[in-house]
């Protein structure tokens, strides 16, 4: 009985050596050890003992550990502020929000006629109210025919309603009493408050009359800037003559 027992102890010792070889030995050394054990096992099997085959060393690598990339947040798409449209100032093209259109109801060529005032005598005044952008024209006459020189003057005052802002523009023709100006602004007031005022002066500037007619047709533009244009939110425009 000593033979089979010795074979088993030898085989067990070889198994331990084989495992150690898997850890520290080279692959060639492991194969040589397996050949030796196989021969020993075959001899023992011839004597009626069970054959034990060692499993080959594992070549499967452990799967890599998952890498935590910190879950870097994308931050999301940057919100588009959208186009910041300050609103065109050409005659109040915008609708100004709720309640009524703020666009001009007429054009410079078809401006509403406010009548006539004197630019060098009396204290004439014309007043009108409305809502939204509008164009007006007013005739300023030279009435002082004395030898002394006296310039022509006029002044426009615009009062905007609460919560709405309008600006004031004046156009004075430079080519005589029979023309009008609709393009080149002569004077303007763009206050952010409730009141805008602007005035014009032209004609004689010396001690004596210039001998020419200084009558002019002045164009006045009320231009919407911001706020509502409801029928009850009205501006008031007053035009004064002879403001010396």
Assign 3-class secondary structure to the chain: CHHHHHHHHHHHHHHHHHHHHHHHCCHHHHHHHHHHHHHHHHHHHHCCCCCCCCCCCCCCCCCCCCCCCCCCCCCCCCCCCCCCCCCCCCCCCCCCCCCCCCCCCCCCCCCEEEEEEECCCCCCEEEEEECCCEEEEEEEECCCCCCECCCEEEEEEEECCCCCEEEEEEECCCCCCCCCCCCCCCEEECCCCCEEEEEEEECCCCCECCCCCCCEEEEEEEEEEECCCCCCCCEEEEEEECCC
pLDDT at 140 over 60: yes
Does this model's pTM top 0.95? My answer is no
Structure confidence at residue 208 (pLDDT): 80
pLDDT at 20 over 50: no
pLDDT at 6 over 60: no
112-241 under CATH 2.60.120.380, yes or no? yes
Q: What is the mean pLDDT of residues 180-203?
A: 97
Structure confidence at residue 13 (pLDDT): 54
Q: What is the pLDDT of residues 88-102, one digit of tens each?
A: 344 444 444 445 789
209 versus 3: the higher-pLDDT residue is 209
Q: Residue 235: CA atoms inside 13 Å, Cβ hemisphere, count?
A: 31
Query: What crossing angle do the helices spanning 2-24 and 27-46 adopt, rounded to 10°?
Result: 170
Q: What is the distance between the alpha carbons of residues 86 and 225, in angstroms, rounded to a whole number?
A: 9
132 versus 23: the higher-pLDDT residue is 132
Residues 6+ away with beta carbon under 8 Å from 123: 240, 241, 242
**For residues 30 and 54, is the Cβ–Cβ distance under 8 A?**
no
pLDDT at 37 over 60: no
Q: What is the distance between the alpha carbons of residues 150 and 142, in angstroms, rounded to a whole number?
A: 9
pLDDT category of residue 115 using cuts at 50, 70 and 90: very high
Q: What is the distance between the alpha carbons of residues 159 and 97, in angstroms, rounded to a whole number?
A: 20
pLDDT at 225 over 80: yes
């Amino acid at each position: 009985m000593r033979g089979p027992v010795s074979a088993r102890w030898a085989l067990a010792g070889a198994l331990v050596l084989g495992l150690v070889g898997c850890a520290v030995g080279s692959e060639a050394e492991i194969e040589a050890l397996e050949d030796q054990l196989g021969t020993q096992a075959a001899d023992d099997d011839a004597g009626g003992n069970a054959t034990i085959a060692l499993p080959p060393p594992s070549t499967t690598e452990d799967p890599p550990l998952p890498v935590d990339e910190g879950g870097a947040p994308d931050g999301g798409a940057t919100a588009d502020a959208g186009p910041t449209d300050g609103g065109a100032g050409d005659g109040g093209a915008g609708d100004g929000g709720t309640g009524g259109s703020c666009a001009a109801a007429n054009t410079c060529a078809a401006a509403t006629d406010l009548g006539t005032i004197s630019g060098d005598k009396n204290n004439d005044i014309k007043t009108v109210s409305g809502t939204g952008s509008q164009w007006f024209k007013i005739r300023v006459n030279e009435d002082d025919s004395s030898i002394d020189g006296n310039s022509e003057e006029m002044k426009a005052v615009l009062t905007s309603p609460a919560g709405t802002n309008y600006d004031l523009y004046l156009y004075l023709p430079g080519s005589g009493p029979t023309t009008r100006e609709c393009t080149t602004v002569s004077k303007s007031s763009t206050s952010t408050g409730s009141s805008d005022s602007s005035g014009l002066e032209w004609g004689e500037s010396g001690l004596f009359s210039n001998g020419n007619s200084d009558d002019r047709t002045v164009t006045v533009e009320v231009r919407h800037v911001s706020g509502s244009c409801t029928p009850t939110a009205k501006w008031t425009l007053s035009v004064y003559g002879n403001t010396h």
